[in-house]
Amino acid sequence: MASKCLLKGGTIATCVQGSTTPQVYKADVLIEGNAITRIAEDISPQAGVEVIDCTDKWITPGFVDTHRHLFMTVLRGNQCDWLLSEYMVKMAWYDALWRGTMEMHKEFLAYARSIPVSIITAHIVKGPQILQWRDGGILGADVVFSHCNVLADRPALDDEMWAALKESGAAIASTPEDELGMAHGNPVALDALQRGVKCGLGVDATSINSGDIFTQMRFALQWARGHDHERIHLNKETPPFHNKYSSADAFRLGTLGGAEALGLSNLIGTVEVGKRADLVVFDASSVNLAGAADPITGVVFHAASEDVETVFVDGEIVKRGGKLVHEWAPVARELKKRADEVRERWPEDKLEERWQKWYDTNGAPIF
């Protein structure tokens, strides 16, 4: 734990609560324990404070991943070409999907809330659960639905499914990268932001995609833009003056939006005094970023993990000088071993056989 640390001379890029426009400004950031205790133009370092020179660095909030199948890291590379239907059958999860009745959902949620848990999460692709849970009286601000592609098919501004989310305070964890590739349907993150429905981004299955929020911000934003451009073209509407969705929108989804979705916006998601020190320091002189003046567009469109120089998680430095603080090699060895074991137990031809049998008997499952 870094007990006291001063980030000196950096440029802060952050959303602020209650505003839709991110702020970019130069200031020093004082971290004491796990909290940001002061942000000011020129903070003099006291004795015992570690000073990190942030000249020509960007400081952003830590990015918030609202939905990640971390355990699937052992399956990386195996599933990148799969459809969602194929995935559910090959992973033997399809049967489990339809076992829950509404009574079971009610019982399960009542139990979860009695523990209590802070977040209840469920997957929705094209299903009707949002309205079912609303009608069953169990939809609440502690619910995070991943994907929610069904909402992309409901563009009406007064749509009741969108309204159910907004009124209950339930949130969406949008995972655009694999939703687009696996036939979930279309991502709804930018729509949710415009409608004022709580929404963050997530990586989802780490076996299938990039694993980072940079990529999710780009997929979410560019897909929404492309979809909007296509609609304008097909409807022969007057071309707009500007893009409907901005880099700032994507930045918000990747930071404060995610924190709001998980009910953690009082702790993380912005660089503000009183928040936990969850921070990312980018090297703005890197190959990717040296030509970029604005950290918001720079991070959303140009940055990659190699530009991340220092990372604080809850006040602890986990990456410093571009290197992970904890030794990675033993973790990598264990990961490779486990990945080999899984591949040996479930070779692709065995999985393909299972899917073929299912497809020939039932056709592709619809979600």
Q: Which residues bind Zn ion (CB under 5 A)?
A: 204
Q: Is 236 left (phi over 0), alpha (psi -120 to 50) or beta?
A: left
Strand-pairing partners, residue 211, are: none
Q: Shortest approach of Zn ion to residue 215 CB, angstroms?
A: 16
190 vs 253: CA distance, rounded Å: 8
247 vs 296: CA distance, rounded Å: 7
Q: Shortest approach of Zn ion to residue 216 CB, angstroms?
A: 13
Find all residues with CB under 8 Å of 158, minimum gap 6, and list them: none
Peptide bond into 365 cis (omega under 30): no
DSSP states of 130-192: HHHHHHTT---TTEEEEE-GGGGG---TT-HHHHHHHHHT-EEEE-HHHHHHHTS----HHHH
- Nearer to Zn ion (CB atom), residue 83 or residue 304: 83
Task: Give the residue carrying structure tokens 């501004």.
Answer: 157
Strand-pairing partners, residue 124, are: 147
- Nearer to Zn ion (CB atom), residue 92 or residue 318: 92
**CA nearest to 76, candidates 178, 173, 146, 175:** 178
- Nearer to Zn ion (CB atom), residue 208 or residue 253: 208
- Nearer to Zn ion (CB atom), residue 28 or residue 204: 204
Q: Shortest approach of Zn ion to residue 204 CB, angstroms?
A: 5
Q: Shortest approach of Zn ion to residue 69 CB, angstroms?
A: 6
Angle in degrees, CA 204, 209, 215, rounded to 5: 90
211 vs 288: CA distance, rounded Å: 19
Whole-number Cα distances in Å, 169 to 186, 192, 208:
22, 12, 30
> Residues 131, 161: contact at Cβ < 8 Å?
yes
Angle in degrees, CA 44, 46, 50, rounded to 5: 95
The 10 Å Cβ neighbour count of residue 130 is 25
Q: Shortest approach of Zn ion to residue 68 CB, angstroms?
A: 8
